[in-house]
Homo-oligomer: A and B are copies of this chain.
Amino acid sequence: MSVLPTAPIEITAFDWVPDFARGFVRDLRPRWACEEAGLDYRERLIPVLERPGWYYSEQPFGQVPALKDGDLRLFESGAILLYLGEKDDRLLPKAGQTRADTVCWLFAALSSIEPYTLEVLLLKFSIEEEWAKLRRPSLAAFVESRLERLADALGGKDYLTGRFSVADIAMATVLREAQHTGLLSMPSSLCDYVERCLARPAFTRALAAQLAAFGRTEKERGKS
């Protein structure tokens, strides 16, 4: 559960991003899953501003993360979380209703919550534009009502399916980004949920590893 150049699992991440994005790039998700499962991984860092042409054959949209495990290649953080979850049934049970719930909540995080929180994030970056000012109230109202439904579904549970899983890695990273926009009001039970997830030592290590990679790039650039 550390970054190890000889590990069979390779996570592709960016070698540098602007300050506001640090700690929020999506390679955080597979890093976190590896840390939870006790899996070593190596990093492959690519430039965010001039993404290499060959990378699009591995990730059709040029995004990160991508993952290799030996000869096997994966893209999309949801597919990667599902794949890593299969390696550790603490992260994804092998069968039964809890497995089904985990997969459902993984998709829910990425298909029913993240699309709208990303819209809020884009709106934040465009807030000086007239469309963003006009759109903000209806978008915030929609997202907040969806977050209330999510809080209802979480109920008094510590995690989405009762026990921590890859679904929580997806959902907590999505909600953390939403909080970071500062444009949404979130039910207190969801704030507690995010805090509970982020308090896990595996998250702390994953975050430190992402930030360390940016630090190395800057140090190298400083030398050249």
Contacts and interface: CB of A to CB of B under 8 A. Distances in A.
Q: How many copies does the complex hold?
A: 2
A72 interface: yes
B61 A107 contact: no
Interface in A51-91: 56, 60-63, 71-79, 82-83
Contacts of A73: 97, 100
A59 B193 CA distance: 20
B107 A110 contact: yes
Size range of the chain A interface in the assembly: 35 or more
A104 interface: yes
Contact of A112 (B74, B76, B103): B76
B108 A110 contact: no
A185 to B, nearest CB: 18
Interface stretch (A7-15, A146-154, A194-202): A146-154
A131 interface: yes
A52 B101 CA distance: 21
B134 A75 contact: no
Nearest to A95: B72
Given A107-B76, A135-B135, A83 B100 contact: yes
A146 B61 contact: yes
B78 A107 contact: yes
Nearest to A57: B153
Nearest to A112: B61
A223 B32 CA distance: 58
Contacts of A115: 111, 114-115, 118-119
Contact of A79 (B72, B75, B83, B104): B104
